[in-house]
Amino acid sequence: MSRRIPALWTSHPSSPQWHDLCQRLVGCRACPRLVAWREEGRRRGKAAYWSRPVPGEGDPKARVLVLGMAPGMEGGNRTGRPFCGDASGRWVREALSRHGWAGGDGEPLSGVYLSNLARCVPPQNRLRAEELARCLPYLREELQLLGHLEVVLALGRQAFLAYLGLREDAPKTARFAHGALVYFPTRPHWLLASYHPSPHNTGPGRLTRAMWEEIWRSVAELAGGSGSTVDPAVLKLHQVVTPSPGQDGAEVLGHRAVGVKAVVADDVGAADEGGVSLNRA
Ligand code: SF4
Protein backbone atom coordinates (compact mmCIF):
# COMPACT_ATOMS: atom_id res chain seq x y z
CA MET A 1 0.00 0.00 0.00
CA SER A 2 1.38 3.36 -0.91
CA ARG A 3 1.90 5.97 1.72
CA ARG A 4 -1.01 8.39 1.66
CA ILE A 5 -2.04 11.65 3.17
CA PRO A 6 -4.88 11.17 5.66
CA ALA A 7 -8.29 11.76 4.14
CA LEU A 8 -9.36 14.69 6.30
CA TRP A 9 -6.20 16.57 5.55
CA THR A 10 -6.89 16.50 1.83
CA SER A 11 -10.69 16.70 2.00
CA HIS A 12 -10.89 20.02 3.79
CA PRO A 13 -7.83 22.07 2.80
CA SER A 14 -9.95 25.21 2.68
CA SER A 15 -10.55 25.11 6.42
CA PRO A 16 -7.53 26.80 8.03
CA GLN A 17 -8.33 25.46 11.49
CA TRP A 18 -8.54 21.83 10.41
CA HIS A 19 -5.50 22.21 8.19
CA ASP A 20 -3.48 23.77 11.01
CA LEU A 21 -4.52 21.05 13.43
CA CYS A 22 -3.61 18.26 11.03
CA GLN A 23 -0.28 19.79 10.18
CA ARG A 24 0.72 20.14 13.82
CA LEU A 25 -0.53 16.66 14.65
CA VAL A 26 1.17 14.85 11.81
CA GLY A 27 4.48 16.51 12.69
CA CYS A 28 4.24 15.81 16.42
CA ARG A 29 7.20 14.08 18.08
CA ALA A 30 6.37 14.86 21.70
CA CYS A 31 6.51 11.25 22.95
CA PRO A 32 9.96 9.76 22.24
CA ARG A 33 8.92 6.20 23.13
CA LEU A 34 5.93 6.32 20.76
CA VAL A 35 7.89 8.04 17.99
CA ALA A 36 10.39 5.17 18.08
CA TRP A 37 7.65 2.53 18.07
CA ARG A 38 5.52 4.03 15.31
CA GLU A 39 8.57 3.97 13.03
CA GLU A 40 9.17 0.30 13.79
CA GLY A 41 7.22 -0.86 10.73
CA ARG A 42 9.35 1.23 8.42
CA ARG A 43 12.53 0.12 10.16
CA ARG A 44 11.58 -3.47 9.47
CA GLY A 45 11.61 -2.68 5.77
CA LYS A 46 7.90 -1.94 5.40
CA ALA A 47 8.43 1.39 3.71
CA ALA A 48 4.73 1.80 2.91
CA TYR A 49 3.81 2.21 6.57
CA TRP A 50 2.48 5.63 7.46
CA SER A 51 4.41 5.52 10.78
CA ARG A 52 3.34 8.99 11.87
CA PRO A 53 0.56 10.33 14.12
CA VAL A 54 -2.86 9.40 12.75
CA PRO A 55 -5.29 12.33 12.44
CA GLY A 56 -9.03 11.98 12.75
CA GLU A 57 -11.10 11.37 9.66
CA GLY A 58 -14.62 12.28 8.72
CA ASP A 59 -17.27 14.91 8.37
CA PRO A 60 -16.57 18.29 10.05
CA LYS A 61 -20.35 18.50 10.58
CA ALA A 62 -20.53 15.05 12.14
CA ARG A 63 -23.28 14.21 14.63
CA VAL A 64 -21.40 11.08 15.76
CA LEU A 65 -17.84 10.75 17.01
CA VAL A 66 -16.40 7.24 17.17
CA LEU A 67 -13.61 7.33 19.71
CA GLY A 68 -10.94 4.70 20.24
CA MET A 69 -7.75 4.69 22.27
CA ALA A 70 -4.91 4.69 19.72
CA PRO A 71 -4.11 3.37 16.24
CA GLY A 72 -2.92 -0.20 15.82
CA MET A 73 0.41 -1.12 14.23
CA GLU A 74 -1.28 -2.83 11.27
CA GLY A 75 -4.24 -0.44 11.24
CA GLY A 76 -3.84 3.33 11.45
CA ASN A 77 -0.07 3.21 11.78
CA ARG A 78 0.10 1.39 8.46
CA THR A 79 -2.65 3.16 6.51
CA GLY A 80 -2.58 6.65 8.05
CA ARG A 81 -6.34 6.46 8.69
CA PRO A 82 -8.12 5.70 11.97
CA PHE A 83 -9.97 2.38 12.14
CA CYS A 84 -8.61 1.30 8.79
CA GLY A 85 -6.54 -1.69 7.75
CA ASP A 86 -6.90 -4.18 10.59
CA ALA A 87 -9.61 -6.40 12.07
CA SER A 88 -10.98 -3.72 14.40
CA GLY A 89 -11.13 -1.27 11.54
CA ARG A 90 -13.10 -3.72 9.42
CA TRP A 91 -15.78 -4.02 12.09
CA VAL A 92 -16.05 -0.24 12.33
CA ARG A 93 -15.96 0.49 8.59
CA GLU A 94 -18.45 -2.26 7.77
CA ALA A 95 -20.85 -0.94 10.39
CA LEU A 96 -20.51 2.56 9.01
CA SER A 97 -21.42 1.31 5.53
CA ARG A 98 -24.33 -0.83 6.73
CA HIS A 99 -25.86 2.04 8.67
CA GLY A 100 -25.46 4.69 6.01
CA TRP A 101 -22.55 6.67 7.42
CA ALA A 102 -20.28 5.81 4.48
CA GLY A 103 -20.79 4.73 0.89
CA GLY A 104 -18.13 2.04 1.07
CA ASP A 105 -14.43 1.59 1.71
CA GLY A 106 -12.60 4.69 0.58
CA GLU A 107 -15.81 6.73 0.31
CA PRO A 108 -16.09 9.93 2.36
CA LEU A 109 -17.78 9.58 5.72
CA SER A 110 -21.04 11.44 6.16
CA GLY A 111 -22.26 12.60 9.55
CA VAL A 112 -19.56 10.73 11.43
CA TYR A 113 -16.01 11.41 12.55
CA LEU A 114 -13.40 8.86 13.68
CA SER A 115 -10.68 9.64 16.17
CA ASN A 116 -8.53 8.31 18.99
CA LEU A 117 -7.39 9.54 22.38
CA ALA A 118 -3.75 9.10 21.35
CA ARG A 119 -2.52 9.29 17.78
CA CYS A 120 0.57 7.09 17.84
CA VAL A 121 0.66 3.34 18.17
CA PRO A 122 2.09 2.27 21.55
CA PRO A 123 4.24 -0.80 22.28
CA GLN A 124 2.26 -3.77 23.61
CA ASN A 125 -0.88 -1.68 23.14
CA ARG A 126 -0.18 0.16 26.36
CA LEU A 127 -0.01 3.90 26.74
CA ARG A 128 1.64 5.63 29.65
CA ALA A 129 -0.52 8.12 31.49
CA GLU A 130 1.79 11.00 30.59
CA GLU A 131 1.59 10.08 26.89
CA LEU A 132 -2.17 10.11 27.02
CA ALA A 133 -2.15 13.49 28.78
CA ARG A 134 0.22 14.88 26.16
CA CYS A 135 -2.03 13.83 23.28
CA LEU A 136 -5.47 14.72 24.64
CA PRO A 137 -5.22 18.41 23.66
CA TYR A 138 -5.52 17.34 20.02
CA LEU A 139 -8.85 15.68 20.81
CA ARG A 140 -9.98 18.76 22.70
CA GLU A 141 -9.30 20.84 19.59
CA GLU A 142 -11.28 18.42 17.44
CA LEU A 143 -14.20 18.52 19.85
CA GLN A 144 -14.24 22.30 19.64
CA LEU A 145 -14.27 22.16 15.84
CA LEU A 146 -16.96 19.46 15.71
CA GLY A 147 -19.84 21.73 16.62
CA HIS A 148 -22.68 19.44 15.50
CA LEU A 149 -21.96 16.38 17.63
CA GLU A 150 -24.82 14.62 19.43
CA VAL A 151 -23.26 11.25 20.24
CA VAL A 152 -19.82 10.03 21.25
CA LEU A 153 -19.43 6.28 20.81
CA ALA A 154 -16.56 5.21 23.06
CA LEU A 155 -14.92 1.95 22.06
CA GLY A 156 -13.51 0.42 25.21
CA ARG A 157 -13.34 1.40 28.83
CA GLN A 158 -10.39 3.79 28.55
CA ALA A 159 -11.98 5.82 25.77
CA PHE A 160 -15.16 6.01 27.84
CA LEU A 161 -13.39 7.14 31.01
CA ALA A 162 -11.04 9.55 29.28
CA TYR A 163 -13.89 11.24 27.46
CA LEU A 164 -15.80 11.63 30.72
CA GLY A 165 -12.69 13.27 32.12
CA LEU A 166 -12.80 15.89 29.38
CA ARG A 167 -16.36 16.94 30.19
CA GLU A 168 -16.99 19.51 32.89
CA ASP A 169 -20.68 18.62 32.93
CA ALA A 170 -20.19 14.87 33.27
CA PRO A 171 -22.02 12.95 35.94
CA LYS A 172 -19.91 12.75 39.06
CA THR A 173 -19.63 9.00 38.81
CA ALA A 174 -20.27 6.39 36.16
CA ARG A 175 -19.33 2.82 35.42
CA PHE A 176 -18.18 1.40 32.10
CA ALA A 177 -20.28 -1.39 30.71
CA HIS A 178 -21.11 -2.43 27.19
CA GLY A 179 -24.20 -0.42 26.33
CA ALA A 180 -23.81 2.09 29.16
CA LEU A 181 -25.24 5.45 28.16
CA VAL A 182 -24.43 8.80 29.73
CA TYR A 183 -26.55 11.88 29.28
CA PHE A 184 -25.06 15.39 29.37
CA PRO A 185 -27.07 18.56 29.67
CA THR A 186 -24.96 20.22 26.96
CA ARG A 187 -23.90 18.98 23.52
CA PRO A 188 -22.82 16.40 22.65
CA HIS A 189 -25.66 15.04 24.79
CA TRP A 190 -24.82 11.34 24.68
CA LEU A 191 -21.88 9.12 25.48
CA LEU A 192 -22.48 5.49 24.56
CA ALA A 193 -20.06 2.74 25.56
CA SER A 194 -19.23 -0.37 23.60
CA TYR A 195 -16.69 -3.10 23.96
CA HIS A 196 -13.86 -2.41 21.54
CA PRO A 197 -14.25 -4.50 18.36
CA SER A 198 -10.75 -5.94 18.66
CA PRO A 199 -10.09 -9.65 18.14
CA HIS A 200 -9.57 -9.83 21.91
CA ASN A 201 -13.30 -9.19 22.29
CA THR A 202 -14.78 -10.45 19.02
CA GLY A 203 -12.75 -13.68 18.91
CA PRO A 204 -14.17 -15.25 22.07
CA GLY A 205 -17.60 -13.74 21.45
CA ARG A 206 -17.50 -11.17 24.18
CA LEU A 207 -18.63 -8.71 21.50
CA THR A 208 -20.94 -10.45 19.03
CA ARG A 209 -22.28 -9.19 15.73
CA ALA A 210 -25.71 -8.86 17.30
CA MET A 211 -24.38 -6.74 20.18
CA TRP A 212 -22.47 -4.58 17.71
CA GLU A 213 -25.55 -4.08 15.54
CA GLU A 214 -27.59 -3.03 18.54
CA ILE A 215 -24.99 -0.39 19.40
CA TRP A 216 -25.18 1.06 15.90
CA ARG A 217 -28.97 1.09 15.86
CA SER A 218 -28.85 3.06 19.10
CA VAL A 219 -26.26 5.43 17.67
CA ALA A 220 -28.60 6.19 14.78
CA GLU A 221 -31.51 6.84 17.12
CA LEU A 222 -29.48 9.02 19.49
CA ALA A 223 -27.92 10.99 16.63
CA GLY A 224 -31.31 11.60 15.10
CA GLY A 225 -32.73 13.19 18.23
CA SER A 226 -31.99 16.55 19.71
CA GLY A 227 -31.25 15.42 23.25
CA SER A 228 -34.90 15.48 24.22
CA THR A 229 -36.68 13.46 21.55
CA VAL A 230 -34.97 10.09 21.72
CA ASP A 231 -37.26 7.08 21.63
CA PRO A 232 -37.66 5.84 25.22
CA ALA A 233 -37.55 2.29 23.87
CA VAL A 234 -33.93 2.88 22.89
CA LEU A 235 -33.13 4.28 26.29
CA LYS A 236 -34.61 1.20 27.90
CA LEU A 237 -31.93 -0.90 26.20
CA HIS A 238 -29.20 0.88 28.03
CA GLN A 239 -27.93 1.57 31.47
CA VAL A 240 -28.38 5.34 31.51
CA VAL A 241 -26.26 7.54 33.72
CA THR A 242 -27.57 11.01 34.47
CA PRO A 243 -26.01 13.93 36.27
CA SER A 244 -26.03 13.44 40.03
CA PRO A 245 -28.71 15.21 42.07
CA GLY A 246 -27.68 18.80 42.44
CA GLN A 247 -25.77 18.91 39.18
CA ASP A 248 -27.16 21.06 36.40
CA GLY A 249 -29.50 19.09 34.19
CA ALA A 250 -30.33 16.39 36.73
CA GLU A 251 -34.03 16.98 36.35
CA VAL A 252 -33.96 16.85 32.55
CA LEU A 253 -34.03 13.08 32.43
CA GLY A 254 -36.30 12.84 35.44
CA HIS A 255 -39.44 13.55 33.46
CA ARG A 256 -38.34 12.07 30.16
CA ALA A 257 -36.76 8.66 30.40
CA VAL A 258 -39.67 6.32 30.82
CA GLY A 259 -38.57 3.10 32.42
CA VAL A 260 -34.95 4.15 32.69
CA LYS A 261 -33.23 3.92 35.99
CA ALA A 262 -30.49 6.42 36.72
CA VAL A 263 -27.27 4.73 37.69
CA VAL A 264 -24.68 6.30 39.91
CA ALA A 265 -21.43 4.51 40.48
CA ASP A 266 -18.09 5.52 41.87
CA ASP A 267 -15.30 4.37 39.63
CA VAL A 268 -14.74 7.21 37.16
CA GLY A 269 -11.12 8.20 37.30
CA ALA A 270 -8.06 9.11 35.36
CA ALA A 271 -6.11 6.63 33.30
CA ASP A 272 -4.70 3.67 35.15
CA GLU A 273 -1.43 4.33 36.84
CA GLY A 274 1.56 2.88 35.09
CA GLY A 275 -0.11 2.44 31.75
CA VAL A 276 -3.34 2.28 29.85
CA SER A 277 -4.28 -1.00 28.28
CA LEU A 278 -5.70 -0.74 24.80
CA ASN A 279 -8.29 -2.88 23.11
CA ARG A 280 -9.54 -4.15 26.40
CA ALA A 281 -13.07 -3.35 27.38
S1 SF4 B 1 0.99 10.27 20.97
FE2 SF4 B 1 0.19 12.33 20.48
S3 SF4 B 1 1.46 13.75 21.70
FE4 SF4 B 1 2.58 11.78 21.59
S5 SF4 B 1 3.94 11.95 19.78
FE6 SF4 B 1 2.02 10.98 19.10
S7 SF4 B 1 0.77 12.70 18.35
FE8 SF4 B 1 2.40 13.59 19.63
What does the domain layout of the chain look like in residue ranges? 7-277
**Distance from Cα 146 to the centre of ligand 1, integer Å:** 21
pLDDT single digits (tens) 226-243? 555 666 666 666 666 665
Q: Is the CB of 34 under 6 A from ligand 1?
A: yes
Give nearest CA residue, ligand 1 atom 2: 135
Which element (helix H / strand E) includes 127? strand 126-127
CATH-assigned architecture of domain 7-277: 3-Layer(aba) Sandwich (3.40)
Which tens digits make up the pLDDT trace of 4-52?
Answer: 555 555 555 468 898 899 989 999 999 999 999 999 877 776 678 999 9
> Whole-prediction pTM value?
0.83
* Element spanning 57, H or E: strand 57-58
- As a 3-state breakdown, the chain gives helix, strand, coil percent values, each rounded to 5, of 35, 10, 50
Q: What is the pLDDT of residues 78-129, one digit of tens each?
A: 999 999 999 999 999 999 999 999 866 567 889 999 999 999 999 998 999 9
Determine whether the shortest distance from the Cβ of 134 to ligand 1 is under 6 A: yes
Query: Cα separation of 244 and 222, whole Å?
Result: 21
Ligand 1 geometric centre to CA of 64 (Å): 24
pLDDT level of residue 261 (50, 70, 90 thresholds): very low
Q: Which has more confidence, 112 or 280?
A: 112
Atom of ligand 1 minimally distant from the CA of 53: 7
Q: In whole angstroms, what is the distance from residue 73 CA to residue 204 CA?
A: 22
- Cβ proximity of 119 and 53 under 8 Å: yes
Give the pairing type, strands 57-58 and 112-116. Answer: antiparallel
Q: Is the pLDDT of residue 254 over 50?
A: no
Coil, strand, or helix at residue 11?
helix
pLDDT for 132-178, tens place per residue?
999 999 999 999 999 999 999 999 999 999 999 999 888 876 789 99
The reply to whether ligand 1 has any atom less than 6 angstroms from the CB of 150 is: no
The sign one gets for the Cα dihedral 165, 167, 168, 171 is negative
Measure the CA–CA gap between 194 and 178, rounded to whole angstroms: 5
Distance 52 CA to ligand 1 centre (A): 9
- pLDDT, average across residues 62-91: 95
Question: If you average pLDDT over every residue of the chain, what do you get?
Answer: 80
Q: Which of 24, 34, 276, 278 to mutate to test the pocket of ligand 1 (most atoms within 8 A of CB)?
A: 34
Please indicate whether residue 118, judged by its CB atom, sits closer than 6 Å to ligand 1: yes
Atom of ligand 1 at shortest distance to CA of 127? 1
In order of 227, 234, 235, the CA distances from 231 in angstroms are 10, 6, 7
DSSP-assigned letter for residue 69: S
DSSP per residue over 187-220, as a string?
SS-EEEEE---SHHHHTTTSS-HHHHHHHHHHHH
